[in-house]
Structure 1
């Protein structure tokens, strides 16, 4: 296996880093300050997008740095998941960078679903404006009344009524639903209750202005509402959509999700590694610039050892994530399930640890909004729950490891 970046990756990465250095890095502190000023509070109906974001998106599109995640040379970057991974890492240095290149979650995953599984009509209605960055989308899966770490628990329902599908249920932590441009939800619900557990659920395309769709509230993470995106609790009450808004077919929800989440977790983890690189840089710069007890604080209290451990951990996580991407590319998502679960544990924990150390070195500034560390810590801690909690992914790794020795779930030895 060879993890050396391809010529296409090198060329894209050079241009991407140049764009970030010229347009995003100088704007970062201003964006965080001004976005917080005019998007304060939980009332998402008043949220608005900073005007500079649209300008930067137009510049990125003109520069050919657009839809880089999509392995289609006409519609996107034409890069494989392994080739795209270093680009995701570069975007991860700044919280809002991925949106500038139309590579932000959950839109990337939703666009991949439509690209791979959508009908021509579904693509024309939803994929085209998403690829153009004209609208945003959300993914409605987790539910407040069940343990969503086991997705087979989902109780929201999809019922066929003639030429329509009828949707009922309550979803929450639907990322991006507070965004002014959010227009589409992919709703996952129980449609085949008598089938085996992973064939019971389906996915449906739902316009957010459909009758019966009601956003009840935005959910704060550590007191922050993440405007203008937001994570919302949404009620679907007798929502009727045409049957042709079903994706792939009844009972295909988990098959679709497997294809969606594999590459998506590579994106998440590489962005987390990029964020960890930034946290380490902030830690070193702060620690070397501040003096205490007659020397730079970076040289006090074991901080040099923490720097070394951070460097080692970042490089280990990057190699593991690239290996997972290589396996997806070479053998498919199913063959890479151990590695996908492993990186989903490793990368968010790595980011949380390094950000925590950077906060400590920054002292009071570290827990303020003057530096981006609280935002990065929030991302890391939330990622340890989102897309499956650590425990679920560790269980997946352990289960597949035991299976190598013939120790299945129901064996006496495995118990």
Structure 2
């Protein structure tokens, strides 16, 4: 999506604290073996309209259930706590109790009601949180949460990530300046279905929780749910959005004349973060983008695009710069949706390799050189209908195996 097509601009050096009313921060409380930040928070000076989407993995981590309870109580959040280094997943009743203890400690530290606090965790599954370290860190965290604390927050949510992931855009809604910002983490165990993937979006727009929830659902389907690194849907995937309303605009609804512009900005932030997660996949050397065009339905286009991007054989071929289109067509055919097997076209960048399901002679050296780049675009034209979809992922490398063979050690 090009920003030139819409009424928003990217804010240089923007973060989750750029929207009015938000602060953030992070610190090291001892969950990680290194001195890297492992506990962070986003805080809003007023109760913010809130929305969330959560993993569909049946072994949903305890903090996600606690956050859902908080949002369900009134559609508002004022503080969002997150720790890295420990997922607090598959930890039984003790894990539930610990997540609630985190929420209670956060409420005390920030001086808000418990139902206005959300919690989430990321890291190793199946280990109890060292609550003495966590609670001690929360007591100190309030002093570290500030208007310029966006970077510290980003550092606090990382696990195997190599880089922080954040973006902020600005637009006008009803004559008022509005900001939409986001931060995310994710590098491995990424195959959202709503990695370990966590996303946090903030805005100062005036929008009710129900409309924010619908918007978050929509953009999640076309952004966060269209990425994959390794095909594993985490126990802890979650995206939370908070809207302070301090921009002073008339309340946004789908009938508002600036709704489309706001939705476009919201989607742009989500897509940027999703692609950043895919690009930072564990051991990855390149971002792969798969576009499926002229499908019979949007559901078919999405399923086929994500099947291709998730294929270990396609990912391995991209890593090896091998223009093996057979891997691609095989993935198209097993995605679970009918295709016309005589009408499929495939391109690698601008290099046709298949037309009407028949091989096309192409320059192997040119194709190999293209596949060595940092961005590989695969186009699949089904020539069946009007629907299209795009998915993002990364190559599968030796380093992915190295990283995950010793994840706990």
Structure-1-length-normalised TM-score: 0.25
More helix by share: 1
More strand by share: 2
Structure-2-length-normalised TM-score: 0.25
Q: Which has the higher contact order (CA 8 A, sep 6+)?
A: 2
